[in-house]
Amino acid sequence: MYALPRCIQPVYAPILHPKYLNRTRVPSPCPSSGWTRSFHASQNLRIHQLAFDHHDNGGKATGSPIVILHGLFGSKKNNRSMSKALARDLSRPVYALDLRNHGNSPHDSTHNYTALAEDTEAFLQQHKLKDSTLIGHSMGAKTVMTMALRDPDCCSNIIAVDNAPVDAALASDFPRYVEGMRKVEEGRVKSQKEADAILEPYAKDLPVRQFLLTNLIRPSPSEPLKFRIPVRTLANALDDMADFPFTNPDERRFNKRALFVRGTKSHYVTDETLPIIGRFFPRFELVDVEAGHWVISENPESFRRGKPQRLL
């Protein structure tokens, strides 16, 4: 399967979208007084050290770094194959992160894009990563967009996979997934098979259930399986995951290169969002990949072929 040619320019050329630059102002702009520059925590947030995997192709990857962020209910493991491929193909070190409340990273009752951005900004500072390419899928996409608008100097460019810088309700699937995961924990299951049977009414597609069930762990041999992610915390954060911290592109803008990749079967980046993307990210380029929302895992080869080499 190949990336669909919705954009006229070739994938490998940076593109400017001037027709999106002079649209009407986004309504109800919010004041930016709460914005803080990169690497400086706001007073109300606690910064967490994030778990990560480092891929450097056996020490041969020496270029500028790539940092890749997963989506909601995911982890760094979701991006392991792609991270290895990018490190090998581009000779650039790749850092695949676990965002807070996911994977092996710490849990916190606060889960919004400002918190996710500040954790990741601190990671860049701690590991002295400069001129990075930030890649994020879904929740990770809004996180890298938030970082780019908070402090454009924090990275060289961004790749946002299947999300847009707008307030938009999550698909109704996500609340069902949360309910299903709660039922699994209430069932005190002893096996993946039992968990899958309980989850099936809430997630009909087997690949989605398999994805969600990667979060199941057994705390000890005698205990039932449980999710390593804090299901209740993430359930309470679903509204925050639908929001975007910035509403006025006249106040915050990222004038470096930005690639937006969307799945052709997904609704998260509609044509109606393109003018807003163009105002926040005036040098953005759009690439479509034949896939649903989980673009990288559903169609990794098209994602790899569709990446702009001059951006990466």
Active-site residues, by number, are 138, 293
Which residues contact residue 214 at a Cβ distance below 8 angstroms, ignoring those fewer than 6 apart? 75, 77, 78
Measured CA to CA, the distance from residue 201 to residue 120 in angstroms comes to 35
Residue type, 20: Y
Strand (E) or helix (H) holding 171: none
Neighbour count for residue 263 (Cβ, 10 Å): 23
11: helix, strand or coil: coil
End-to-end CA distance of the chain: 22
Paired sense of beta strands 94-97 and 133-137, if any = unpaired
Q: Please identify which residue in the block is written with the tokens 């780019």.
A: 148
**Closest-CA residue to 157 (of 85, 69, 257):** 257
Measured CA to CA, the distance from residue 126 to residue 120 in angstroms comes to 10
Measured CA to CA, the distance from residue 13 to residue 35 in angstroms comes to 33
Residue 185: phi, psi to the nearest 5?
A: -65, -40
